[in-house]
A = this chain, B = another copy of it.
C-alpha cells in the first residue's frame, strides 16, 4: 500500500500536523480549472484503450525522460508525421517503460504513476521489468469494466468541474455533446486564441479563415478580427467557459494606436508581417484580451516563458508536445506594466499568471500579486509541478503575497487518470508546508486548517468563478 504519510516532511512534529491537515482536505472534491484533457473521451464515454496508449504514448513527461536516455520515440509508439513504422505492440511499449522506470526515481512522474496504479487500479507492486506484464494485464482487465469508463471514473474521482483548453476556433462539439447527453458531469471549455495571434505562423491564414467562418464574418481588417474574437468569447461563455488562456514567449504588453494595429494586421494578412510586427502585435493583443476580460469577465490566464519545440528534428518528425519545449528566463515587472497599469484594478478583471522561471517568484511575481488587485499567481507550472517545486513556490511567494493572492491548485494535465494523484500530491505538500508553519508557531493550527481547505479547492473555485 502506498504509505499514508507519503510526501509529508519527515520531522515527527511537522508530520503529525500535516496528517491532521491532510485529513481535512483528502476527500474534498477536485476542482480542475486548467488542464488539457480531451473532452472527446467524456463526450463519447468509450472505454479507455490499452495501458500504453492510455498511459505512455500521450505523456510527454514520460517520453522526454526515456528519450533523453536513448530510447527512440519510435520504440514508444509515438507516431511519425511521415507515416514510417513505429512500435505498435502496446505490450512492448509498456515493457520498455517498465524496464526503464528506474530513471524516474525522485521525479513527480514516478509519484503520479505509482499513486495512479495504486489509487485507480489497486496495483501496489513496483513497476519494473519483471512486473511489467502482470501489471499490464491487471490494468487491461480493469479498463474493460464499465466502472472504468471515463464518466464513471470522473464521478469516482469526485471531480467537481473539469476545464479543458480549446482553440478559439474549436466548435466545442464535444462539450455540446456532453451537455446534450444529460450526464451531470461539469466539463467546461477554456478560450485559447494563441493560433489567431501567431501572425508569422504558416497556419495563421487558415486559422483566421476558420475564425471568420465560425464568427460569421469575413475578416478583412483588424476591426473584424477583434469582433470575431469577441463573438467566439461570447460563444465560449455560453458553453460555460469562465476563463481564457494565453501562451507567449515573453509577457511583453504594450498598446498600439488603432492605426498601427490596423496596419500591422493588414501586413499580416498580406503575408508581409515582420518579426517586429509579431512582437508588437502579440503585446497589443494581450492588452486587447485584457480589455475583453475586463468587459466579459472571463478570467485571463497567461503562461509565458516556454520556448516551444526547441529541438526542430523532434518537432519535424513527431510534431509538437513531445517534451522538447524548454523554458527561458522571463521578465514580468517591466513587461506587464502596461497591462497592469491599465487593467490591474478594474473590478471584474482577473489575471492568473504562471511562470517557468522560479527566480521571478520572490523577485517579481509575489511583489506584483501583493499589490495589483486583479492579479493572482497560478500554481507551480509544468516542470515545477512537483514536490520540491511546490515547496519552493510556497516558500518564495507566501511571505510577500500571502496565500490569498494565489489561485489554488490546478493539475494542468492531459492525462485524465492522473488527476486524482496530482491533486492528492498537491494537498499533501500543502498540508506539509502549512504544518511546518504551525510547528514553528508562525500560524495557529486552526488557521492552517482553513488555509488547507482554501488551497485544496476554495481558491481555485473562487479565482475562476467556478462556484455553482
Residues of chain A touching chain B, judged by Cβ–Cβ distance below 8 Å, are: 2-3, 5-14, 64-65, 67-70, 102-108, 110-111, 126, 307, 310-313, 323-324, 326-329, 331, 333-334, 337, 340-341, 344-345, 356-359, 362-364, 366-373, 375, 383-384, 386-389, 395-396, 398-405, 436-437, 439-444, 447, 450-451
Contact = CB atoms under 8 A, between A and B. Distances in A.
A311 B398 contact: no
A390 to B, nearest CB: 10
Contacts of A326: 333, 364, 367-368, 371
A383 B362 contact: yes
Given A364-B326, A388-B399, A440 B6 contact: yes
Contact of A399 (B329, B389, B404): B389
Contacts of A341: 310-313
A372 to B, nearest CB: 7
A442 B6 contact: yes
B399 A107 contact: yes
Contact of A331 (B68, B108, B329, B441): B329
A398 B363 CA distance: 21
Given A340-B311, A358-B359, A7 B399 contact: no
Contacts of A387: 399, 440, 442
A388 B67 CA distance: 31
Contacts of A11: 10-11
25 contacts: A2-B441, A6-B441, A6-B442, A9-B10, A10-B439, A12-B13, A64-B370, A68-B405, A102-B447, A106-B402, A106-B437, A106-B442, A110-B442, A126-B444, A307-B334, A310-B340, A311-B341, A323-B370, A326-B367, A328-B334, A356-B363, A386-B400, A388-B396, A388-B398, A388-B399
